[in-house]
């Protein structure tokens, strides 16, 4: 597989239930960043020969993305309702070759409204469990 265009990667929210998901694409997406990381556990000791030693700790993931601010977009309305209700929901990231699914909390939901330009909404999601690649 060759290089992947950014336009082929998008974020969806489950507007159904976990047992019967209904994946709704978040409309008018401009960009997205998917971060996966792992904490390290320091196990350095006197026998480490002067070098730090680490073990892999807990893993984590987060998604941030922007979309044009369209107030009647079904996914936007769902995410806004989740934010107001402190709801944890499922999200899906689709690439040409893979699908990633995980539950996340909404850490940020903001929009900009510059004079003479289109309003943009920004989303920040933090995973609450594994991000599963299918």
Residues found in the chain: 134
Of the candidates 78, 59, 80, 85, the residue with the CA atom closest to the CA atom of residue 21: 78
Of the candidates 109, 133, 113, 134, the residue with the CA atom closest to the CA atom of residue 123: 109
Handedness of CA 9, 12, 134, 100 (dihedral sign): positive
Write down the pLDDT at residue 2.
Answer: 87
- Whole-prediction pTM: 0.89
Query: What is the C-alpha separation between 42 and 91, in angstroms, rounded?
Result: 32
- Spell out where 52-127 has E strands: 54-68, 89-94, 99-112, 120-127
Domain boundaries, the chain: 6-133
Question: How do the pLDDT tens digits run along the chain, 134 residues long?
Answer: 689 999 999 999 999 998 999 999 999 999 999 999 999 999 999 999 999 999 999 999 999 999 999 999 999 999 999 999 999 999 999 999 999 999 999 999 999 999 999 999 999 999 999 999 98
* CATH number listed for the domain at residues 6-133: 4.10.410
């Amino acid at each position: 597989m060759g290089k992947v265009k950014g336009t082929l990667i998008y974020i969806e929210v489950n507007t159904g239930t976990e047992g019967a998901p209904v994946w709704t694409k978040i409309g008018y997406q401009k960009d997205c960043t998917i971060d996966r990381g792992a904490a390290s556990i320091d196990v350095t000791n006197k026998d480490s020969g002067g070098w730090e030693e680490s073990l892999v700790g807990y893993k984590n993931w987060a998604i941030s993305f922007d979309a044009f601010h369209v107030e009647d977009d079904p996914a936007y309305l769902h995410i806004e309702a989740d934010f107001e209700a402190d709801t944890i929901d499922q999200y899906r990231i689709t690439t040409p070759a893979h699908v990633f699914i995980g539950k996340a909390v909404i850490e940020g939901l903001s929009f900009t409204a510059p004079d003479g330009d289109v309003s943009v909404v920004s989303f920040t999601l933090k995973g609450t469990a594994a991000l599963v690649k299918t």
